Structure 1
């Protein structure tokens, strides 16, 4: 499958089969996340694998958006190990963690796994629930698992605005 086909086929999975994720597939997904480029190659991302009953119950306590996924990846970054941009008003933490998360999602799709970027939760509550260090900031939760047979993309998944509406050529 070409990258374009993979990108078009990947969707936000909102219904999972309870089948466990193969450990080899999970390692592949995690290793692809590790390959993501980061500013100055600081690799400040932290990916927490939440798969046990206790952790999944905690996920369910902070968001209704696990959708039955057997694995959730919590993606965060080390705020003390980021590149600060000229002007000092921004740093690379959120964008680097986002690049990592995108690699994780696309690698999951390559393995035939579904995923969903979850942002419907309070990052501070997640940080506390999972006992993350003070210097880490939570970006997102990533549901991961086998899509349910009766699931699928939302009806509007394939609709895209024309490039002329989203790209400015100068």
Structure 2
């Protein structure tokens, strides 16, 4: 499958079977994260693989795991931050997002579902899994085999904005009011 087909096949999975991910498949997913680009190749990611049931319960104190038996806690080492000097923007969250995206695509290629979560309590993760202060829990990447079928790749036809609404050439063009995001309205 070519890259665009794989990207269209990837979808959020919220409901997993009890089938375990093999060590080989997990290593392939983690290897995809290892080769992901990061700003100035600082590689700030630190990934805690959680598969033991007692530790899954600890993660569940911070966020639900949808029945998954494999959670990757993707952290950022704050000691290796690249900070843009003009406005102090740290590249760490971007780096972690790229690492997670690589791993989600690798998982999908293996017919393993995923959901990346940023809305969790990092202090619970820090306390329950003994994470030091200089390591920032940034994302949970919840993996497993989907309870239901993967979503259709054709969903992008209706669920995604057309390129004409999101891409501009040569300069920024002010968005129209009717294009305002509805993401927060759904909450």
TM-score (norm 2): 0.84
The 5-angstrom pairing of residues 31-46 of structure 1 reads 31-46=31-46
Give 1 or 2 for the bigger CA radius of gyration. 2
> Is the Cα–Cα contact under 8 Å of residues 77 and 97 in structure 1 kept in the other structure?
yes
Unaligned runs of at least 5 residues, structure 2:
171-187
Shift of 1:119: 2.2
Shift of 1:88: 5.3
Shift of 1:151: 4.6
Shift of 1:28: 0.5
Residue number in structure 2 paired with 1:169 = 169
Q: Structure 1 or 2: larger helix share? A: 2
Distance 1:123 1:62 in 2: 7
> Quick one: structure 1 residues 87 and 7, their matched pair in 2 at CA, closer, same or farther if it must change by over 3 Å?
same
Residue number in structure 1 paired with 2:135 = 136
Residue number in structure 2 paired with 1:54 = 54
> Is the Cα–Cα contact under 8 Å of residues 62 and 121 in structure 1 kept in the other structure?
yes
Distance 1:120 1:153 in 2: 23
TM-score (norm 1): 0.92
Query: Cα deviations across residues 131-150 of structure 1 (Å, max 9, x unaligned)?
Result: 111101111101111112x3
Structure 1 residue 153 corresponds to structure 2 residue 151 = yes
> Is the Cα–Cα contact under 8 Å of residues 46 and 75 in structure 2 kept in the other structure?
yes
> Is the Cα–Cα contact under 8 Å of residues 70 and 145 in structure 1 kept in the other structure?
yes
Shift of 1:112: 1.1
SS of residue matched to 1:117: strand
Q: Aligned-pair RMSD on alpha carbons?
A: 1.6
Distance 2:67 2:119 in 1: 15
Residue number in structure 2 paired with 1:117 = 116
Unaligned runs of at least 5 residues, structure 1:
none
The 5-angstrom pairing of residues 60-75 of structure 1 reads 60-64=60-64, 66-75=65-74
Shift of 1:111: 1.1
SS of residue matched to 1:112: coil
> Is the Cα–Cα contact under 8 Å of residues 73 and 141 in structure 1 kept in the other structure?
yes
Distance 1:40 1:132 in 2: 25
Structure 1 residue 20 corresponds to structure 2 residue 20 = yes
